[in-house]
Structure 1
């Protein structure tokens, strides 16, 4: 499959093929399948983020559920950064390396 450039924002969990379509922090070159994989990872992060937000809104005490959601969020966030690193431009890889997240 042919790769194309995507502009990615982990914070907003967006990935667009045109540079001016949305703010972005990182650039990747990905096949359609790889881009879909990153999109699915972003969906998982959203699910955990939403669960954590609901728990925080009710000022929930630290529970196993909080830990499970936090661990799930962290797991998928790391997966996203690893995939972005693997597909990223040289500048993207340097930026992620400087974050010491992987």
Structure 2
């Protein structure tokens, strides 16, 4: 039954995924399969790891942001998350992400569709 899509509600700030609209505060509604949700969960988990690495490295004053590889990884993963949400989202989700201006036309098409 992995191919069946169902509604999920995503909170980007807390990296939470809800199956119902009243389970918690959410930002985006998507229609996804179980494997697509697993993909988003893996991205969220990696974001948490990278976030902690950035926190610890931020205490080294001579390292600039753009020279820290984990910051580039964080940015890339955030782009993947928003691209995935754009692809799976309802029209309201897509419109919101378009207005944010973080995705260009090429990034709104997921390059690797092997969730």
Q: TM-score, length-normalised on structure 2?
A: 0.81
Tell me how far 1:67 sits from its aligned partner: 1.7
2:109 is matched with none
Q: Which runs of 5 or more residues in structure 1 are unaligned?
A: none
Residue in structure 1 matched with residue 107 of structure 2 by the alignment = none
The equivalent residue for 2:79 is 78
| Aligned residue pair count | 101
Q: Secondary structure at the match of 2:63?
A: coil
Match of 2:25 among 23, 26, 39: 23
Give how far 1:62 is off: 1.2
Change beyond 3 A, Cα 1:37–1:65: same
64-73 vs 27-36, greater mean Cα deviation: 64-73
Unmatched tracts of structure 2, length 5 or more: 104-115
Displacement over 4 Å in runs of 4+: 63-66
- The structure in which a higher percent of residues are helix is 1
The 2-side partners of 1:59 and 1:53 are apart by 10
1:48 aligned to 44, 47, 50, which one? Answer: 50
Give RMSD over aligned pairs: 1.7
TM superposition score normalised by structure 1 = 0.91
